[in-house]
Amino acid sequence: AADVYRPAAIDQLRTLGAQIDVPVVGEAGRQPVDICAAAVRDAAERGLSPVVLDTAGWLHIDEAMLDELRQMKAAVKPHHILLVVDAMTGQDAVTVAEKFNAAVGIDAVILTKMDGDSRGGAALSVRHVTGRPIAFVGVGEKVEALEPFHPDRLASRLVGMGDVLSLVEKA
């Protein structure tokens, strides 16, 4: 839990971690890079893998945050970098994805708030500017609302054909 900027972010992750039986490392007042390094060490000592490092949220580009991410990347040498963006922010999501990818490189994107078809534009644009796949979409507030992204299904919804396969899977 390396988001030390948003009030209660660490507590929120601790609550989520308790619900899904996943340990959470994080402490208010510590530097995010130090929290990430400690989490990686803790996971190695416990024999846990993978390790998910949750950093500060992005609503706009901030050079200090980009520097912090570069430091994290150098300190922990992650295997994969996933960028989580809010599909409802439209062009801002695209700008953040483009800058984030240029600064630290990403392997894939997770788009949240994809509950409606109007968010499809963000998916197409983020994929285009980063050249990286969209791995997952969030379609609700609960843990089980994180789903694999199926571009063909989104395309079907966008052209008014519906997403019958997702409906069948849920049923």
pLDDT tens, residue order, the chain (171 aa)? 999 988 899 999 999 999 999 999 998 889 999 999 999 999 999 999 999 999 987 666 788 888 999 999 999 999 999 999 888 887 888 888 898 899 999 999 998 887 765 556 777 788 888 999 889 888 888 888 888 888 777 666 655 555 545 555 555
- pTM over 0.95, yes/no: no
pLDDT computed for residue 158 by the predictor: 58
pLDDT of residue 119: 56
Structure confidence at residue 65 (pLDDT): 87
Q: How many other C-beta atoms are found inside a 10 Å radius of the C-beta of residue 126?
A: 24
- The pLDDT score that the predictor gives to residue 120 is 65
DSSP assignment letter at 54: -
Task: Please say whether the beta carbons of 125 and 138 come within 8 A.
Answer: no
Phi, psi torsion values for 39, nearest 5 degrees: -65, -40
> What per-residue confidence (pLDDT) applies to 162?
52
Nearest to 92 by CA among 129, 141, 66: 129
Q: Count CB neighbours of 143 within 10 A.
A: 9
Name the 3-class secondary structure at 109. Answer: strand
